[in-house]
Amino acid sequence: MSKTIIHDLVVKRIGIKSTIDGITSELKIHKKALMELDESLIQEMNEAKQSLTRIEGFTVSVTEQELYTPIDWAAFGVYVEENRLTHLYQRRLTQKAVEEAVSLYGSEVPVEKFTKRSISVRKV
């Protein structure tokens, strides 16, 4: 009796896992398509010199953010360790953190600045 229950549970789990894997794969496809559409939308709005528009009850805006990325991860790691700036190990380097490091230690942080543009669509 127990073997039958275990078998049925395993088969059911395999089916659910397969469904989840299919949904995950489909989600990745949709996220990629959305990202490509956002890039096209940013480009079109940039060419039209627009940073905000309203369409069918939604507002669409383009935002820019100044971000930093290490030029050389090894050099950046040495810099962080030498200056005890482990808080710089975040998902992103913030402008404030980089400026603080420069003001405290007077040396250039081995990073480069880039501008990230993103699109925001909100229902009005």
Burial class, 5, CB count within 10 angstroms (exposed 0-12 / middle 13-18 / buried 19+): exposed
Residue with the larger pLDDT of the pair 34 and 107: 34
Residue with the larger pLDDT of the pair 13 and 110: 13
Specify whether the CB–CB gap between 82 and 109 falls below 8 A.
no
Model pLDDT for residues 55-95, shown as the tens digit of each residue: 999 999 998 887 778 888 888 888 888 888 887 776 566 77
Q: What is the pTM of this model?
A: 0.55
Q: Residue 113: what pLDDT? A: 79
pLDDT at residue 97 above 80? no
Nearest one of 43, 91, 84 to 67, comparing CA atoms: 91
Residue with the larger pLDDT of the pair 84 and 119: 84
Model pLDDT for residues 8-34, shown as the tens digit of each residue: 999 999 999 999 999 999 999 999 999
